[in-house]
Amino acid sequence: MPVKSMEDLFIHTLKDIYYAEKQILKNLPKMAKQAKSPELKQAFEKHREETEGQIERLEKVFETCEVAARGVRCEAMDGILAEAKDVMEEVEDESVREAGMLAAAQTVEHYEISRYGTLIAWAQRLGMKEAQSLLQQNLDEEKRTDQLLTKIAEQSINQKAKA
Amino acid sequence: MPVKSMEDLFIHTLKDIYYAEKQILKNLPKMAKQAKSPELKQAFEKHREETEGQIERLEKVFETCEVAARGVRCEAMDGILAEAKDVMEEVEDESVREAGMLAAAQTVEHYEISRYGTLIAWAQRLGMKEAQSLLQQNLDEEKRTDQLLTKIAEQSINQKAKA
């Protein structure tokens, strides 16, 4: 799709984050399975449920634009998830692996925080009020997830991990 | 390098962000050249200078660990920069392209913010005070850059861009 206007750029970026969220949804059960710490496992499971809701909200945003919900490959998220996979497969020590997985999950959250921040600004610019409100709900959830992960890192995972 | 301890994970992640910063340093002049808006051009040029200082600080962190400063390929940053390149090459309209470039730069900043946040927590856990302080300086700069980009988007770029 050629990007000629802000509306095209908005739709393109919406497709990028839609693809990213679907990839995350696919990966979170593997991460939850690998996590041994109950706090981290629970955080991944909760975020899997939230991600389902976020995908639904994105589908509503597509609807408000009268565009079919479809992703475009997001190389950034592919790269971020490839790094998460490496940590899961290559770090033997359980507590060190969990510290790495948690850090990888935070890079996922930050990519999303950045993308939603941008999409909200563009929706506002384009006068798309419903889209703006839906995207704001996703942004708020991602920020809360990032804060929860920081708390789990500080209070549990980083403390346990072998120096 | 097999990652067996938190210290190994710290070094591995330090190499990841070292590679990422070097890739960013390589790409910022291209982005500054493409940017027509004086605010955005200046922001990219200023951040290129800052990135040089950040790389020097990372080299000092390697020194404190008595490890040679060397990067490892960071697939996440490669993906993020590939997306930035696509925007630069594929969007014809100047103002829309700048909105896309600015958004791409914010995904770069957020990746770094996430990585530095993690490295600082781990440095603290490992009792590496000098490393912690050096990494904190990099984090503060990245956060300021992200805020500056948000301001430029709100006050200038997004306003000008063709709906």
pLDDT tens string B1-21: 789 999 999 999 999 999 999
Look at residue B30 in the predicted model and tell me its pLDDT.
95
∠ Cα A17 A83 A81 (to 5°): 25
Letter for the amino acid at A101? M
Amino acid at B30: K
What gap in Å lies between CA B54 and CA B137, rounded to an integer?
A: 8
Residue A127 falls in which region: left (phi positive, over 0), alpha (psi -120 to 50) or beta = left
Quick check: A83 and B76 in contact, CB under 8 A?
A: yes
Predicted pLDDT at B158? 85
Q: What is the mean pLDDT of residues B119-133?
A: 97
Does B17 contact A at CB distance below 8 Å?
Answer: no
User: What distance in Å separates residue A92's CA from the closest CA in chain B?
Assistant: 7
pLDDT of residue B53: 98
* B35 and B44 Cβ atoms separated by less than 8 Å: yes
| Inter-chain CB proximity A107 and B107 less than 8 Å | no
With CA atoms as reference, report the closest residue to A133 among A48, A66, A64: A64
**Taking 80 as the threshold, does the pLDDT of residue B124 lie above it?**
yes
Q: Which of B4, B11, B118, B155 to probe by mutation at the A interface, max A CB count within 10 Å?
A: B118
CB within 8 Å: B99 and A161: no
The yes-or-no verdict on residue B161 having pLDDT over 80 is no
Predicted confidence at residue A160, as pLDDT, reads: 81
Q: Which residue, A99, A106, A108, is CA-closest to A81? A: A108
Task: Report the C-alpha dihedral over residues B123, B124, B125, B130, rounded to 10 degrees.
Answer: 50
pLDDT lower than 70: segments of chain A:
none
Shortest CB distance from A9 goes to which of B100, B113, B154?
A: B100
Predicted local confidence at residue A75, as pLDDT: 94
Q: What is the pLDDT of residues A16-37, one digit of tens each?
A: 999 999 999 999 999 999 999 9
Minimal C-alpha gap between B16 and chain A (Å)? 10
Q: Where are the alpha helices (DSSP H) in chain B?
A: 6-34, 38-64, 75-90, 94-125, 129-152, 158-160
pLDDT bin (cut points 50, 70, 90) of residue B159 is: confident
Euclidean distance between CA atoms A6 and B161, whole angstroms: 6
Q: What pLDDT score was predicted for residue A51?
A: 98
- CB proximity list for A78: less than 8 A, separation 6 or greater: A23, B75, B79
CA gap A75, A87 in Å, rounded: 19
Token couple for B129:
């005070």
User: Is pLDDT of B115 > 90?
Assistant: yes
A78 → closest Cβ in B2, B4, B79: B79
Chain A residues in contact with B150 (beta carbon < 8 A): 117, 121
Global confidence as pTM: 0.95
Tell me the nearest-neighbour CA distance from B85 into chain A, angstroms: 11
What does the pLDDT look like over A88-99, one tens digit per residue? Answer: 999 999 999 999
Task: Tell me the average pLDDT across B107-111.
Answer: 97
How many Cβ contacts (< 8 angstroms) between chains A and B?
150
